[in-house]
Amino acid sequence: MSKIARTAGKVLLGIVAAALSFFIVTFTIYFFNLDMKATAMLEPFFEKWYDKLERRQYI
């Protein structure tokens, strides 16, 4: 095998490994609904932050 083919194989293997890792992480987040759990955990901090903002328009 030539050096170029070996390097191309390593690059391709790296890309496949990165894509597979990305898929596993995003699937785990989707399957366990972790994005919404994190949002629910952070909601009190967001509410406190946005309640402190000065409003220009009052309802």
pLDDT at residue 56, as a whole number: 84
Q: Tell me what pLDDT residue 40 has.
A: 96
CA distance 42 to 30: 18
Model confidence pLDDT, tens digit, residues 20-49: 999 999 999 999 999 999 999 999 999 999
The residues near 36 (Cβ < 8 Å, ≥ 6 apart) are none
Of the two residues 56 and 45, the one the predictor is more confident about is 45
**Pairwise CA distance, residues 19 & 14, whole Å:** 9
CA atoms of 2 and 5, how far apart (whole Å)? 5
**Is the pLDDT confidence value at 7 over 90?**
yes
Phi, psi of 44 (to 5 degrees): -60, -35
| pLDDT score at 54 | 87
Specify the pLDDT at position 58.
73
